[in-house]
Structure formats: C-alpha cells, structure tokens
Amino acid sequence: FSTLSKLFVSVQKYKLAHHVATALRHIIFWSLPATAFFIIIRAQIVRTVLGSGAFSWNDTRLTAACVALFSISIVAQSANLLFIRAYYATGKTKVPFIICGISSVVTVIASFVFYKIFFIAPVVKYFVASLFKVSDVSGVEILSLPLGFTIGSLFNMWLFAFIFNKDFKNLFKNIRDTVVHSLAASFVAGAASYVALLIIGNLITLDTLAGVFSQGLVAGIVGIMFWFITLKLMKNREVEELLVNIKKRIWKAKIVVPDRTSI
C-alpha cells in the first residue's frame, strides 16, 4: 500500500500499474494451484481438522463440498484486496466502495436464487451435488451459500479488473501468460493429485488420523511436483523468478578477495 501511494504521489502512473500487475501475477501464480489442491484433497483436509467426535463421514463430505466451492474464489478474494489497496492509494475510495457494494448485492441474490432453484429444479441440485460427490447426502441445499459467495467474489474481481484496465491500461496483457500457464499447470497438478489419491486409497485407509493426513500429504506432494515440472517446461516467468530468489537465499554470493596490492 505504501509503495502504491508513493508511486501515485510521484505521478508515476505507469509504474503503479506495473506494480499492481506484478502483484496480481504472483497472486494468480500461487492461488490457482492452491484452488486445485483444495478441491482434490478437500476431504482429507476437512477430515484432518474436524474428523472427530460426532462429526460423521457425511458431515465431512458436505463440508468438503463447501470448502471446494469456497476455494474456487481464492484468486478473486486475494485479487480484490489488491485492487482495493490500489484504488485507496490513488485516493479513489468511491470506486472500491461502489464495486464491493454491487458485488455484495450479487452475492446475496445469487445465494438466494440458487437456494430456490435447488427446490424448484432438483436436476440443478443433483448436478451440483454430483460434481462434488454428495448427491446421496441430505442438506445439499447449503451449497447455495458458498456457490453464491464464489459467484459474487468472481464478479467482484472481474469488475475491478475491467475498471482498473480501463483506468491504467495493459493489465490483461501483463497477466495473460501467467493466467494461461497457471491454469494449465494447476489442471495437471490436480489430475496428478487425484490419480495419486486413487492409488494411495488402496494402500492407506481413512480409519485413522495418520492415514487421512498421509493421503493428503502424499497427494499434495505429487501434485506440487507435476505443477512445478509443467511450469518449468512452459518456461514460466514466475517459476524462474522463484528459483532465482531461492538461490539467493540459500547460496550466498562469492566473497570477492582483494589483491595484495590493494590491502
């Protein structure tokens, strides 16, 4: 926020837009794979945190479905905070106020509409429930809330991005490659984690906390490996920047030894 404010006060509009685009690239880079992992290993996450006492397996499945729907908006939730700070830095506080207000109305309406649709058109409820494998669980109507929240968050992000691109230009152009690379790599990582879960499921059961945690951990590690390899093969910019930063932190720079004549 302080950096954005300094750039705006210094009348460096181009640098401010570039700084926001860079931050947004990294948000997309980290958030999309997080979304994929939350969706794939949602049951293991919920079971590890809440799987005790009266919390049944059906409760786990329904909660996991909610987690998956909420996780779809991880990118949007993170990006919205960035856009809010960017507009506050420029002094245009009315813009985020109006956008967030409209998006809040969209969230409430979307949740209410989907809740009604689930009763009026059971086929829609069955379709959504089938996607998250909870069609045989009672209380599926609760999914209308995270669904509405996700739609509102995505709409909020789209509105912010559209207006910011209009005000500062080239936002979509600067993040295009990152979006394409991250989507592809996240899909591969999710598929790899899913296959790993299928294989591990035959070896490790969900009867114990250690088993549940092990399933999620192994599947997550496998997914991260495929995510990294995919981005590396695509020569992703963010991965190269990440590797450079890691090398700087782990391996210290060589000490320059002065000549005897200069001592």
When comparing pLDDT for 263 and 28, which is higher?
28
Count other Cβ atoms within 10 Å, centred on residue 6: 14
Q: Which residues of 52-64 are buried (b: 16+ CB within 10 A; e: fewer)?
A: eeeeeeebbbbbb
Q: What pLDDT, on the 0 to 100 scale, is given for residue 206?
A: 64
SS3 per-residue string spanning 106-175: HHHHHHHHHHHHHHHCHHHHHHHHHHCCCCCCCCHHHHHHHHHHHHHHHHHHHHHHHHHHHHHCCHHHHH
Cβ atoms of 118 and 124 closer than 8 Å = yes
CA atoms within 13 A on the CB side of 176: 6
Q: How far apart are CA 171 and CA 21, in angstroms?
A: 6
Q: How far apart are CA 61 and CA 58, in angstroms?
A: 5
Residue 114 above 90 pLDDT?
Answer: yes
Residue 11, Ramachandran bin (φ over 0: left; ψ between -120 and 50: alpha; else beta):
left
Tokens 């880079």, located at residue: 29
Q: How does pLDDT run across 155-194, given as a tens digit for each residue?
A: 999 999 999 888 887 888 888 898 999 999 999 999 999 9
Q: How far apart are CA 111 and CA 104, in angstroms?
A: 11
Dihedral angle, C-alpha 183, 185, 188, 189, nearest 10 °: -110
Cβ atoms of 100 and 78 closer than 8 Å = no
Q: How far apart are CA 186 and CA 64, in angstroms?
A: 19
Cβ atoms of 178 and 29 closer than 8 Å = yes
Name the band, by pLDDT with cuts 50, 70 and 90, for residue 14: low
Q: How does pLDDT run across 121-146, given as a tens digit for each residue?
A: 889 889 988 988 888 888 899 999 99
Most confident stretch, 42-51, 53-62, 171-180: 171-180
Name the band, by pLDDT with cuts 50, 70 and 90, for residue 3: low
SS3 per-residue string spanning 7-33: HHHCCCHHHHHHHHHHHHHHHHHHHHH
Q: What pLDDT, on the 0 to 100 scale, is given for residue 229?
A: 93
Threshold 0.85, pTM exceeds: no
Q: How far apart are CA 20 and CA 3, in angstroms?
A: 10
Name the band, by pLDDT with cuts 50, 70 and 90, for residue 215: confident
Name the band, by pLDDT with cuts 50, 70 and 90, for residue 53: low
Question: Hey, CA dihedral for 161, 166, 168, 169, is it positive or negative?
Answer: positive
Count other Cβ atoms within 10 Å, centred on residue 188: 19
Residue 12 above 60 pLDDT?
Answer: no
Name the band, by pLDDT with cuts 50, 70 and 90, for residue 89: confident
Q: Whole-number mean pLDDT of the chain? A: 85
Residue 31 above 90 pLDDT?
Answer: yes
Q: What pLDDT, on the 0 to 100 scale, is given for residue 216?
A: 86
Q: How does pLDDT run across 60-80, given as a tens digit for each residue?
A: 889 999 999 999 999 999 999
Lowest pLDDT segment from 20-29, 54-63, 227-236: 54-63
Name the band, by pLDDT with cuts 50, 70 and 90, for residue 105: very high
